[in-house]
Amino acid sequence: MKFTFKKLFFITIAALFMTSAVMNIIEKSEIEQGISSKVVRFHIRAESNSEYDQKLKLLVRDDVLAEAESILAQCKTREECLEVLSENIEIIEKAAQESVHKNGGNAEVTAEIKKEIFPLKTYGNITFPAGQYTALVIEIGGGKGRNWWCVMFPKLCFVEESVVKGENTEKQLSLILSEDEYDEVMRNNDFEIGFKFAEIIGSIF
């Protein structure tokens, strides 16, 4: 196949573009892994998607967060947070179970700290990338209902999709994240790679 200068030019540009794209993917992956290694998530699963179970999930969430707030009040690092959560996991589980009972439920509750896959999640102007995070996981009954997620450390558990964004929120993030990681969560940008050059090359041949 004979290559004209025009074809070679576009092939060279496409190769450079793809190399840059791959490097960006690697860099982004490293940033996302850095973010996930510095925060602690909170994940609560409802027993089912019934109206009652979904409301109960949120009531349990509120009671667990209230309990956790006092327990984690002095934590300054992720490691301290995980250590304190581990030491108080039975207390947290008991608070969740009592919340179920006082709100008319009888499902058994379990609480544990483990690694789970979280989807990309945006809270106002702050976005946490998808990936594997260490989390406090509360499961009500069989845990087959819709989930609720938030960031437990630093203290960024938001209600629904809103966030009171201010200096304190930004400061908490800036203290634990690198500059690149901080920029990633604050920019609220999904990295997407288009293959326009591939389309251009295909149209040339």
Distances (CA, A) of 57 to 48, 72, 136: 9, 21, 15
The reply to whether 160 falls in a domain is yes
Task: Flag whether 45 is in a domain.
Answer: yes
165 inside domain: yes
| Position 193 in a domain | no
Report the alpha-carbon angle 103-105-108, nearest 5: 125
Own/partner pairs for 95-99, CB < 8 Å, 24+ apart? 95/63, 95/64, 95/66, 95/67, 96/60, 96/63, 96/64, 96/138, 96/140, 98/63, 99/59, 99/60, 99/62, 99/63, 99/64
Pairing status of strand 109-118 against strand 131-140: antiparallel
Range of the domain at 98: 38-187
Q: Considering the domain boundaries, does residue 202 fall inside one?
A: no
How confident is the model at residue 191, as a pLDDT?
A: 40
The tens-digit pLDDT sequence of the chain (205 residues) is 555 656 666 666 655 555 544 444 444 557 878 888 889 999 999 999 999 999 999 999 999 999 998 899 888 899 999 999 999 999 999 999 999 999 999 999 999 999 999 888 887 778 888 889 999 999 999 999 999 988 888 887 754 444 444 456 677 788 888 888 888 888 754 443 333 444 444 444 4
14 part of a folded domain: no
In a domain, 1, yes or no: no
Task: Kindly state whether residue 80 falls inside one of the protein's structural domains.
Answer: yes
Query: How many domains are contained in the chain?
Result: 1
Question: How high is the pLDDT of residue 2?
Answer: 54
